[in-house]
Amino acid sequence: MPSPSNPLIIQGDKSILLEVQNERYEEARDALARFAELEKSPEYIHTYRITPLSLWNAASSGLTAAEILAGLEAFSKYGLPANVTRDIEEYVGRYGRVKLVREGENLIVTSDDATLMMEILNHKKTQVYLQRLDARRALVASGRRGHLKLALLQIGYPAEDLAGYAPGEDLPIALRQSTLDGKPFILRHYQTEAAEIFHAGGSARGGSGVIVLPCGAGKTIVGMAAMAQLQTSTLILTPNTVAVRQWMNELVDKTSLTADLVGEYSGLQKDIRPVTVSTYQILTYRKRGSDEFPHFGLFSARNWGLIIYDEVHLLPAPVFRITAEIQARRRLGLTATLVREDGMEGDVFSLIGAQKYNVPWKDLEKQGWIATAFCHEIRAPLDETVRMEYALAPQRQKYSVAAHNPRKLPILQSILKRHAGESTLVIGMYLDQLDEIAARLNSPLINGATPVREREKLYEQFRTGEVKTLVVSKVANFSIDLPDASVAIEVSGTFGSRQEEAQRLGRILRPKTDGAMAHFYTIVTRETVDQTFAANRQRFLTEQGYKYEILYEDEVL
């Protein structure tokens, strides 16, 4: 019941204020994460917002309007505004009022509400895909299942897709009880839960959706568990060639699949097998001036029963386009965060599927599945001469000037000294800055120009401890397995990208063999856009429950 001691204030514009210092903060934060989006997270008051998409994600996972309202009531200081109550009930109630079902060979859109059906048949976004059958049913144009689902979301009536999926080519797959080197292999409880919720016992309610788990929590294992449940030929899409190799190695190491059943389809090799692992980059390749994507043929090269989208928050627009046309294939999205900087979360919801499973990062940390992490932001001023350069720079160049602040280098060296002997990643986006840092530290550098074989060699040397400090560009943001990395130092980032911050923190979250803590540092330039962008990236860390210590240059040197 509402009480002045509770941590939430729910406002009529559907924003929610959460007191960080309240003793019920963590409990309320975890409840909000199921149906609201974090917007701002300064020190003392965090702002969430309830949106139609956040409510539809909640509804698709089985959360009811009554449960959402009960959760708000339990943590609210005051009574709920009447309009918020009504909007939650209405938006949650919209999910599933329109359904997609299969009648023989035909795909049918149906609703018990004849008036709503008439609205859909006459709306310009949806009518082009439909042919009326009767008052409550319409035939969906061939190959337009995904296009219709996206259009229905845009007009405010997300469809519940019960049309089922093509079974795909049979492929026996079993999870091993031990890896090839004899180590025991047992699924963690949340990995089993995630795969089972996705599969849904093989019913039409399962088979598409997104699993959200922290980096280091074993999303690849969840993908393999889903493959073992479906027993079907699988296409796996990843961000880069290193990730392709890691998937292939994991599949052979932890499943009954032999190497001859797993193929690589990348810029280096075009080998289509019953399980094929590819990259978004090769799929979106096209010749200059051409509208054709020659490698889209991969989607029809075999009778795939499952398509896995690794790091689904990075899914490029052309792959959304082809995904709209292959809705009869089961689709599993894997990610550490559903945040997309391009605002296409609705496309993920419609074309890949709703969020099916999400565990707060801090929950897995408490259970020991990911490392305990401390986050530090260190702010350095600009020298007077650089301040003038910054002041006179065009707006689009200001971040580069601030990110290249020479005073970051002594701070970096001080942090490295503090963590001497620990496996450390130095991460940035500007190649000239990284070149200078690598030379100063006498450490190897990995960037986009580093050949895949050389990257794999350096990653292996880092894993074994032969290399203690590795300087890396954006290419190391994704799908890199570096279990012993315990320190990450960010000297520049992709502007205010929260998704990038999630990935960079994830590089150090695998549990350490000695139980050591992980430390994530970001070095920013005070009173510049660098600090502004850092504040936006910080939102993701705060949403996950991490404390964010802010220090000044003189406190570190």
* Tens-digit pLDDT profile for residues 74-124: 999 999 999 999 999 999 999 999 999 999 999 999 999 999 999 999 999
> Do 386 and 447 share a structural domain?
yes
Give per-residue pLDDT as tens, 275-286. 999 999 999 988
> Do 337 and 211 share a structural domain?
yes
In a domain, 228, yes or no: yes
Question: How far apart, in whole angstroms, are the C-alpha atoms of residue 451 and residue 282?
Answer: 16
pLDDT in the model for residue 456:
85
**Which residue, 359, 394, 420, sits at the end of a domain?**
359
In a domain, 176, yes or no: no
- Amino acid making up residue 519: H
In a domain, 404, yes or no: yes
> Do 373 and 486 share a structural domain?
yes
Give per-residue pLDDT as tens, 180-214. 888 899 999 999 999 999 999 888 788 999 998 88
In a domain, 476, yes or no: yes
Q: Which domain holds residue 22?
A: 8-94
> Do 144 and 78 share a structural domain?
no
Confidence category of residue 506, pLDDT binned at 50, 70, 90: low
> Do 478 and 386 share a structural domain?
yes
pLDDT in the model for residue 445:
94
SS3 state of residue 379: strand
- Split into its structural domains, the chain has a count of 4
CATH number, residue 145: 3.30.70
Tokens of 321: 């386009």
Whole-prediction pTM: 0.81
Is residue 497's pLDDT more than 70?
Answer: no
In terms of Cα–Cα distance, which of 136, 138, 130, 86 is closest to 116?
A: 136
> Do 475 and 541 share a structural domain?
yes
Q: Is the dihedral of CA 100, 357, 318, 237 positive or negative?
A: negative
Question: How far apart, in whole angstroms, are the C-alpha atoms of residue 303 and residue 169?
Answer: 5
Percentage above 70 pLDDT, the chain: 91
Question: How far apart, in whole angstroms, are the C-alpha atoms of residue 515 and residue 520?
Answer: 16
In a domain, 225, yes or no: yes
Of the two residues 57 and 485, the one the predictor is more confident about is 57
> Do 215 and 308 share a structural domain?
yes
In a domain, 522, yes or no: yes
In a domain, 270, yes or no: yes
Is residue 479's pLDDT more than 60?
Answer: no
In a domain, 182, yes or no: no
**Ranked by mean pLDDT, which of 279-283, 310-314, 361-365, 548-552 comes out on top?**
279-283
Provide long-range contacts, Cβ within 8 A and 24+ apart, for 439-443. Answer: 440/409, 440/413, 441/413, 441/416, 441/469, 441/471, 443/467, 443/469, 443/470, 443/471
> Do 265 and 396 share a structural domain?
no
CATH number, residue 267: 3.40.50.300
pLDDT in the model for residue 1:
80
Give the residue-averaged pLDDT of 232-248.
92
